[in-house]
A and B are shown apart, each in its own frame.
Chain A
Amino acid sequence: MANRIDAAAATAEGAATFRQVARDTIRFILKELKPKGRMLTPFNVMSGTIILLGIVLIAIRFAFGLSSVTNLSQNYPWGIWIGFDVVTGVAFAGGAYVLTFVVHILKFKKYEPIVRVTVLNGFLAYVFYAGALLLDLGRPWNVVNPIIGNSFGISSVLFLVAWHFLLYMICEFLEFSPAVAEWLNWKRVRRIVEGLTTGAVIFGITLSTLHQSGLGALFLLAPSKIHPLWYSHNIPVMFFVSSIFAGLSMVIIESTFTHRIFKDRIGHDLHAAHDGILLGLGKGAVGALFAYIFIKLIDFVHYKQWERLATSMGYWYLVEVVGFVLLPTALFLQAIRKRSVKMVRFTAFLTAVGVILNRLNVSVIAFKWYEPVRYYPSWMEIEVTMAIICMELWVFRWVINRMPVFGVHPAVEVEEKTARDMEVVEWKASVL
């Protein structure tokens, strides 16, 4: 009897605490939602304008159809919203699965401090860039069709890719969720999600390898439309291997900038280890680049492409392969030998440009290269892409300034790093 009363009292008390916690949490989140620091910084004004304009354009697009904003045509059904936002964006998000693999499976603990920020970046990249797909869909509300199962097109590569995107976003969110729990100070939840991350990590790596190559496999259905220098049965393998160095160079670039911009959010350990980490990432990228060059070479020899090199598309191909694959490989090697972090950074940048070139070539530039009237993006397509990048940056900054992403809990309130914001813009703009 007495026990029961105790239990009842405990439940009541539990409910009361729960209510208290819930109220506190909501109050905490509301407080955190408010921007920190000055609002009217050059970066905020600029990116804010871009975002506002982007939203207007998106509204126009949904009100009047794709032709009101894009240069898409019957001949070019896919433009930069697919070729850049989705196909390239996802390649760059590859850093997350590579790093989780290296740290959690291969146990290279050295890279542990940057796993969280990389996963956060990967997650946001999927949400925003893969999310940009919705803008491009003619009937986005039907996007649920292949998900809820009223019409499964299982034979479609795109069907697999769509599912992978969705599942992978969930995985990455789970992987990042301990940071969210720490931020909210939910100790029990943290323990639970921590347990889930193991599965999420493994599942996420598998999903990634499959859909990185799946994105390439999309183009296998159009063999006669992609220039033979780019078309190959090996596109899926090439997309997968290049996503490794794409992801790694993006991690290098981004940690270079975050290190400067969010200096005071970064733990001492990470600061000390940073150079070593960047050099190590460079080594990883070189490995993947070599594998990539090897595949490209076999492909090239196998299909006897020599005569094609002397055409204008051939020169363009050489620019991509020599200038942005071979050259970065050589530079990375040099940088590692000289232990020059600066050079690693520069080379990572070069590599990233090469990946953009490659993805745009396969999906847009070498696609139907024979048409007399070619597609080029309208300024509005570019504007919307930039708006999406800015939105991602805002969310990224918001999270970094609140959650323990770099391994230290933010005990002190820090101002939004406004003065350095221009660098974020430069960084993302440089990637464009």
Chain B
Amino acid sequence: MTISRRDFLKVAGMTGGVLLAGGRKPAQAAETARTGQEDVEFKGMLIDTTKCIGCRACEEACNEANKLPQPAVSLSSDSVFEKIRDTGPDAFTVVNRFPNEKEPDKPVFVRRQCMHCNQPACASACLTRAMEKTREAAVVYNKDRCMGCRYCMIACPFDVPKFQYNSPTPYVRKCIFCYERQQRGEQPACSEACPTGATLFGKKRDLLEIARTRIYAEPDKYVHHIYGEHEVGGTGWLFLSGVPLEKIGLNHIIKGEKETSHGEQD
């Protein structure tokens, strides 16, 4: 077979150009997500860990709204806090307890669930657009498209998506910010159930304002940092804390960034 070098460069250049053009798409995708913000305002959730009493009403409401089995350890039992739990295919949110050095008799309770990132790594990983950022901020999961490659799990900086390893027809499972309820004009099940206002639903802009005001009003009570305002490019869910963030398991990303100082999300 004879191929001249010119032929090679011609064809190679063409194919390369076309394929690279495909690869350049992420930037554009991010843009549209951002312009989406203008049409509909991003919703968000503000978690004030100083207000959380660890009643796990959010867990119960979440399981009910998503038709999940009831939590393994009954809601009334404190034993559930003995070890740090993670979310799972059948638990989209879990409440954990951390010791409070400032006031030892008042432990800190912290929820864990999908953060609904502004630029979700899971969605940019997904090759079938099963994970998708909606205009309203919720990162939803279209289960019929998913091929179960679990790249979203590799990519998520918070390790949120969970996989049904026990099933021959598995899905990826995670909190979807009660997207359908929001579409119906209702608020998410967990914030509705929260008796203390520790979980507060609203427009993200308003929530940031509220968070800043709280820190400003009680500077001694709060760490002066809104977790989620800037982490991984901003998340839909924001956290306030009275104790250093790394003491309540919210250091993960901060630590990761320090350790891989060259590896910030860009």
Q: Which residues in B have their C-beta under 8 angstroms from that of A159?
A: 127
Mask, B129-168, CB within 8 Å of A = 1, is: 1100000000000100111111101110101001111111
Which of A138, A154, A201 has the most chain B CB atoms inside 10 A of its CB? Answer: A138
Stretch at the interface among A26-34, A218-226, A250-258, A319-327: A218-226
Q: Which residues in A have their C-beta under 8 angstroms from that of B28?
A: 155
Asked if B8 and A65 make an inter-chain contact with CB atoms under 8 angstroms apart, the answer reads no
| 5 cross-chain CB contacts under 8 A | A77-B153, A142-B148, A158-B125, A222-B155, A303-B261
How far is A33 from B128 in the complex, measured between Cα atoms in Å?
Answer: 39
Least distance between B196 CB and chain A CB atoms (Å): 30
Mask, A297-331, CB within 8 Å of B = 1, is: 00000110000000000000000000000000000
A210 contacts the other chain (Cβ, under 8 Å)? yes
Mask, A6-49, CB within 8 Å of B = 1, is: 00000000000000000000000000000000000000000000
Stretch at the interface among A192-200, A260-268, A275-283, A288-296: A192-200
How far is A42 from B265 in the complex, measured between Cα atoms in Å?
Answer: 53
Q: Which residues in B have their C-beta under 8 angstroms from that of A201?
A: 1, 3
Given the known A-B contacts A73-B165, A203-B11, A221-B155, are A162 and B262 also in contact in the complex, defined by CB atoms under 8 Å? no
Residue in A64, A78, A160, A367 whose CB lies within 8 Å of B150: A78
16 further contact pairs, Cβ within 8 A, besides A67-B166, A142-B147, A222-B121: A63-B168, A64-B168, A68-B166, A77-B153, A136-B149, A153-B130, A157-B125, A158-B125, A160-B19, A207-B15, A207-B19, A210-B16, A219-B154, A221-B121, A221-B155, A223-B265
A231 contacts the other chain (Cβ, under 8 Å)? yes
B103 contacts the other chain (Cβ, under 8 Å)? no
How far is A207 from B11 in the complex, measured between Cα atoms in Å?
Answer: 11
Mask, B4-18, CB within 8 Å of A = 1, is: 010110011001100
Residue in B8, B164, B257 whose CB lies within 8 Å of A105: B8
Asked if A138 and B151 make an inter-chain contact with CB atoms under 8 angstroms apart, the answer reads no
Given the known A-B contacts A74-B162, A77-B153, are A223 and B12 also in contact in the complex, defined by CB atoms under 8 Å? no
How far is A33 from B264 in the complex, measured between Cα atoms in Å?
Answer: 55
B192 contacts the other chain (Cβ, under 8 Å)? no
User: 8 Å CB contacts to B: which residues of A201-231?
Assistant: 201-203, 205-207, 210, 214, 218-219, 221-226, 228, 231
How far is A105 from B2 in the complex, measured between Cα atoms in Å?
Answer: 8
How far is A239 from B164 in the complex, measured between Cα atoms in Å?
Answer: 31
A232 contacts the other chain (Cβ, under 8 Å)? yes
B79 contacts the other chain (Cβ, under 8 Å)? no
Residue in B157, B169, B265 whose CB lies within 8 Å of A139: B169
Q: Which residues in B have their C-beta under 8 angstroms from that of A206?
A: 11-12, 15-16, 19
Given the known A-B contacts A74-B162, A223-B265, are A138 and B170 also in contact in the complex, defined by CB atoms under 8 Å? yes
Q: Which residues in A have their C-beta under 8 angstroms from that of B25?
A: 154-155
Mask, A116-159, CB within 8 Å of B = 1, is: 00000000000000000000111110110110001111111111
Asked if B147 and A143 make an inter-chain contact with CB atoms under 8 angstroms apart, the answer reads yes
A232 closest partner in B (C-beta): B262
Report, as a range, how many residues of chain A touch the other chain: 35 or more
A259 contacts the other chain (Cβ, under 8 Å)? no
Q: Which residues in A have their C-beta under 8 angstroms from that of B185?
A: none
The number of residue pairs between A and B whose CB atoms lie closer than 8 Å in the complex comes to 186
B126 contacts the other chain (Cβ, under 8 Å)? yes
Given the known A-B contacts A228-B262, A232-B262, are A198 and B145 also in contact in the complex, defined by CB atoms under 8 Å? no
Asked if B264 and A153 make an inter-chain contact with CB atoms under 8 angstroms apart, the answer reads no
How far is A30 from B145 in the complex, measured between Cα atoms in Å?
Answer: 40
Asked if B1 and A104 make an inter-chain contact with CB atoms under 8 angstroms apart, the answer reads yes
How far is A164 from B15 in the complex, measured between Cα atoms in Å?
Answer: 11
Least distance between A274 CB and chain B CB atoms (Å): 22
How far is A243 from B28 in the complex, measured between Cα atoms in Å?
Answer: 30
Closest 9 CB pairs of A and B: A138-B148, A224-B256, A223-B263, A67-B165, A77-B150, A159-B127, A142-B147, A77-B153, A221-B155
How far is A72 from B26 in the complex, measured between Cα atoms in Å?
Answer: 29
Asked if A65 and B124 make an inter-chain contact with CB atoms under 8 angstroms apart, the answer reads no
User: 8 Å CB contacts to A: which residues of B213-266?
Assistant: 252-253, 256-257, 259-265
B22 contacts the other chain (Cβ, under 8 Å)? yes
How far is A77 from B259 in the complex, measured between Cα atoms in Å?
Answer: 22
Asked if B153 and A145 make an inter-chain contact with CB atoms under 8 angstroms apart, the answer reads no
Least distance between B161 CB and chain A CB atoms (Å): 9
A233 contacts the other chain (Cβ, under 8 Å)? yes
Least distance between B262 CB and chain A CB atoms (Å): 5
Given the known A-B contacts A198-B1, A225-B256, are A74 and B168 also in contact in the complex, defined by CB atoms under 8 Å? no
How far is A217 from B259 in the complex, measured between Cα atoms in Å?
Answer: 20
B28 closest partner in A (C-beta): A155
B23 contacts the other chain (Cβ, under 8 Å)? yes
Given the known A-B contacts A65-B168, A206-B16, are A153 and B154 also in contact in the complex, defined by CB atoms under 8 Å? no
Least distance between B209 CB and chain A CB atoms (Å): 29
A66 contacts the other chain (Cβ, under 8 Å)? yes
Q: Which residues in A have their C-beta under 8 angstroms from that of B263?
A: 223-224, 226, 228, 231, 233
Q: Which residues in B have their C-beta under 8 angstroms from that of A218?
A: 151, 154
Asked if A145 and B145 make an inter-chain contact with CB atoms under 8 angstroms apart, the answer reads yes
A368 closest partner in B (C-beta): B159
User: 8 Å CB contacts to A: which residues of B26-42?
Assistant: 26, 28-29
B145 closest partner in A (C-beta): A151
Q: Which residues in B have their C-beta under 8 angstroms from that of A146?
A: 127-128, 147
A112 closest partner in B (C-beta): B1
Given the known A-B contacts A206-B11, A223-B260, A228-B262, are A198 and B154 also in contact in the complex, defined by CB atoms under 8 Å? no
Given the known A-B contacts A142-B148, A206-B15, A222-B155, are A65 and B165 also in contact in the complex, defined by CB atoms under 8 Å? yes
How far is A298 from B230 in the complex, measured between Cα atoms in Å?
Answer: 30
Residue in A63, A145, A156 whose CB lies within 8 Å of B125: A156
Least distance between B20 CB and chain A CB atoms (Å): 8
A185 contacts the other chain (Cβ, under 8 Å)? no
Asked if A224 and B259 make an inter-chain contact with CB atoms under 8 angstroms apart, the answer reads yes
Given the known A-B contacts A142-B146, A221-B121, A228-B263, are A74 and B88 also in contact in the complex, defined by CB atoms under 8 Å? yes
Asked if B265 and A66 make an inter-chain contact with CB atoms under 8 angstroms apart, the answer reads no
